[in-house]
C-alpha cells in the first residue's frame, strides 16, 4: 500500500513539475497565473515545494500620485511591503509626486485611525461600532497629458 501511494505521488510531482517550470514570467498576469498554479500544486503535494514569486515592481500597474501625510506633514515615510503580490521598499517624502504601484496605493489609502461611536440597537442596547476611519495619508491622483 505504501509503494502505491509513493508511486502515485511521484506521478503527480512529475506532471506538475513539467508544467510549472515551463511557465513564462514576463508580465503581471503570468505571475498571477504562476502563483495560482504553485498554490494548487503545493496543496496537492501537501508540502511547500513551489513558493509564490512576487511580481517585480516594474511589471505592476502604476498610477502617478502626489503623496502627503495628514498626521505628520513634514516627516518622510519609509514604506516596506513584502507579500505574495509585491516586494516594495521606498521612502516617500510628503509633497512629492511618485509613480506608485496600484497595490501600494491601496495599502496606503487603507491606513487610518478608526473613529468609534455608539449606536442604539433594536432592543435598546447601546453598542460601540466603527463609524469611519480618519485617513493618515492623502494620495491625490495626478493626470498627465
pLDDT 10s digits, 62-99: 999 999 999 889 999 999 999 888 999 999 999 999 99
Tell me the CA end-to-end span of the chain in Å, nearest whole number.
68
pLDDT value of residue 36: 92
Q: Rounded to whole angstroms, what are the CA distances from 102 to 37, 88, 109, 133, 144?
A: 23, 12, 11, 21, 17
Which secondary-structure segment (H or E) carries 100?
A: strand 97-101
Q: How far is CA 12 from the centre of its chain?
A: 30
Contact yes or no for 135/109 (Cβ under 8 A): yes
How do the domains of the chain map onto residue ranges?
2-45, 57-141
Q: Name the more confident of 108 and 14.
A: 108
pLDDT 10s digits, 43-65: 999 999 888 899 999 999 999 99
Amino acid at each position: 500500500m505504501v509503494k502505491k501511494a509513493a508511486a502515485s505521488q511521484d506521478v503527480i510531482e512529475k506532471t506538475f513539475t513539467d508544467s510549472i517550470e515551463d511557465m513564462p514570467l514576463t508580465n503581471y498576469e503570468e505571475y498571477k497565473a504562476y502563483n495560482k498554479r504553485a498554490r494548487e500544486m503545493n496543496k496537492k503535494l501537501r508540502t511547500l515545494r513551489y513558493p509564490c514569486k512576487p511580481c517585480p515592481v516594474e511589471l505592476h500597474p502604476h498610477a502617478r500620485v502626489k503623496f502627503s501625510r495628514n498626521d505628520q506633514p513634514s516627516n518622510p515615510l519609509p514604506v516596506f511591503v513584502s507579500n505574495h503580490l509585491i516586494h516594495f521598499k521606498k521612502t516617500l517624502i510628503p509633497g512629492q509626486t511618485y509613480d506608485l504601484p496600484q497595490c501600494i496605493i491601496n495599502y496606503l489609502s487603507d491606513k487610518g485611525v478608526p473613529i468609534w461611536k455608539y449606536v442604539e440597537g433594536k432592543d435598546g442596547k447601546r453598542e460601540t461600532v466603527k463609524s469611519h476611519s480618519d485617513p493618515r495619508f492623502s494620495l491625490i491622483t495626478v493626470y498627465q497629458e
